[in-house]
């Protein structure tokens, strides 16, 4: 294996050299475009986001402190974290499974499945919530009464929130893994197989290490998306204070109750997490794609 890799590594630097763009010719147009883009992003993203931080710390650390001391808020934050972790775990397991299925196997309806996987990205979260209520709703859903009899309430409780969150974050993991799997091909696995490795061994020793970066991005993106999900959760959770209210629902509630400080503080916490997530992705990505 090492033999096949060496020539590539030797070849890489000159190729990189050649592809590096020649010194850009600076014209007024360059500066104009630079200015337009910076201003656009500044007004649309940077300034509003920074205002949330300013508003949060307008009274020093008071708003953050009162947030952490409010037991309902603590429960909401814990619930958000709990749901996000579950959704990440479920999506990771099934994301890897579905990606392997999509890349390595041919079956009828594969293109359809592939296309359907994008639905959660483009469909409205409200529709997602509605759909889950219709099927798993306690009183008159398709499966709801049956599950309720079995002592398992889905809608208006934590499993429903986890399902809604998993639904909306579903494609992120798969879309990160599929391209990587397609690129690495099956040669190494075939080699391992010919050397007598079992299916499980091949997966652990060959497949998993090569897609670990894809999984990492997938996890980070899924985490960010899951923490931030609002619409779908709003429909399925019932928003019971201290029980099924997540942090995002709390932001709305606080704002509508004229508790602006609390809303800004919660929003600031959530924003910090998501910004941290994308910064992490931005930092680790270049290492993988030199």
Partner 1 sequence: MIWFSALVLIPLMAVVVTAVEGGWDVFWATITNGQTSAAIRLTVLTALGVTAVNVVMGPLIAWVLVRDRFWGKSVLEVMIDIPFALPTIVAGLVLLSLYGNDSPVGVDIANERPAVFLAFLFVTLPFVVRMVQPVLEELDRDVEEAAASLGASRITTFRRIILPSLAPAIAAGAALSFARGVSEYGSLVLLSGNLPFKTEVTSVRILSSIENDNVPAAAAVATVLLAISLAVIVLLDLIQRRVAARG
- Which CB sits closer to partner 1, 61 or 142? 142
Nearer to partner 1, 48 or 242 (CB): 48
> Whole-number minimum distance, CB 90 to partner 1, in Å?
9
Q: With beta carbons less than 8 A apart as the criterion, state whether 85 and 164 touch.
A: no
Window 212 to 271, contacts with partner 1 (CB under 8 A): 221, 224-225, 227-231, 234-235, 248-249, 251-252, 255-256, 263-264, 267, 270-271
In this chain, which of 187, 278, 284, 288 binds partner 1, going by CB under 8 A? 278
**Cα–Cα distance measured from residue 289 to residue 143, given in angstroms and rounded to the nearest whole number:** 45
Least distance CB 37 / partner 1 (angstroms): 4
Among 11, 16, 72, 118, binds partner 1 (CB under 8 A): 118
Q: How many residues can be counted in the chain?
A: 290
Residue 67 CA: distances (Å) to CA of 23, 62, 188, 264 = 51, 8, 52, 10
Please report, as residue ranges, which positions from 127 to 186 form the binding site for partner 1 (by CB under 8 A).
127-136, 141-142, 163, 166-167, 170
CA distances from 280 to 158, 191, 196 (A): 29, 34, 38
Give least dist CB 129 to partner 1, A.
8
* Helix/strand/coil (H/E/C) assignment for every residue in 174-204: HHHHHHHHHHHCCHHHHHHHHCCCCHHHHHH
Tell me the closest approach of the beta carbon of residue 74 to partner 1, in angstroms: 18
Please, what is the minimum distance in Å from the beta carbon of residue 273 to partner 1?
Answer: 9
In the chain, the DSSP E strands lie at: none
Contact pattern for partner 1 over residues 20 through 49, marking x by CB under 8 A: -xx-x----xx--xx-xxx-xx-xxxxxxx
> What's the rounded Cα separation, in Å, for the pair 47 and 55?
12
């Amino acid at each position: 294996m090492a033999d096949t890799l060496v020539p590539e590594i030797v070849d890489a630097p000159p190729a990189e050299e050649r592809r590096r763009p020649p010194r850009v010719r600076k014209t007024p147009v360059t500066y104009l475009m630079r200015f337009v883009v910076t201003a656009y992003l500044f007004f649309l993203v940077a300034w509003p986001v920074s205002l949330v931080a300013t508003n949060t710390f307008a009274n020093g650390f008071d708003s953050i402190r009162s947030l952490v001391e409010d037991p309902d808020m603590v429960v909401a934050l814990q619930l958000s974290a709990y749901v996000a972790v579950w959704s990440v775990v479920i999506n990771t397991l099934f994301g890897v499974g579905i990606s392997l299925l999509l890349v390595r196997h041919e079956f009828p309806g594969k293109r359809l499945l592939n296309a359907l996987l994008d639905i959660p990205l483009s469909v409205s979260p409200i529709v997602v919530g509605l759909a889950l209520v219709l099927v798993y709703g306690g009183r008159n859903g398709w499966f709801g009464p049956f599950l309720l009899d079995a002592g398992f309430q889905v809608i208006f409780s934590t499993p429903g929130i986890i399902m809604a969150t998993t639904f909306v974050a579903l494609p992120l993991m798969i879309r990160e893994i599929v391209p990587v799997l397609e690129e690495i091909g099956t040669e190494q696995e075939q080699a391992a197989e010919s050397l007598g490795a079992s299916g499980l061994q091949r997966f652990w020793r060959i497949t998993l290490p090569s897609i670990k970066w894809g999984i990492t991005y997938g996890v980070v993106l899924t985490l960010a998306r899951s923490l931030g999900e609002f619409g779908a959760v709003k429909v399925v959770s019932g928003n019971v204070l201290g029980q099924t209210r997540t942090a995002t629902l709390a932001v709305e509630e606080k704002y509508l109750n004229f508790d602006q400080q609390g809303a800004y503080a919660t929003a600031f916490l959530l924003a910090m997490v998501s910004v941290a997530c994308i910064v992490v992705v931005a930092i680790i990505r270049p290492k993988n794609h030199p």
